[in-house]
Amino acid sequence: TLSIPTAAYDIPAVLTLPNASGPAPAVLLIHGFGSDKNEVGNFYANLAQGLAEAGYATLRFDYPGSGDHGEGFEVNTIATYVR
């Protein structure tokens, strides 16, 4: 678990790395509005583990108003998404 600092707020995230050393391809897992960084039924948490076993790094995070994010959903705007 890590926190990604931004000018407006910190973004709670999880970085899952493969066991191999050196650079690895990466996948960004972006959840839907009704869920969080792990997705319904821990789908993304399980997917991240499977991708790590296949040699991929993954990063998943919580949007404001979701999961461990400290901000409310109302701060989600097009402007905050494209920063």
The pLDDT value recorded for residue 78 is 63
**What pLDDT does residue 68 have?**
64
pLDDT in tens, the chain (83 residues): 788 887 777 888 999 999 988 899 999 998 777 777 777 788 889 999 999 999 999 999 887 667 666 665 556 666 666 55
Query: Which pLDDT score is estimated for 59?
Result: 95
User: For residues 49 and 52, what is the distance between their CA atoms, to the nearest angstrom?
Assistant: 5
How far from the centroid of its chain's Cα atoms is residue 42's Cα? Answer: 12
In angstroms, the CA 48 to CA 36 distance is 14
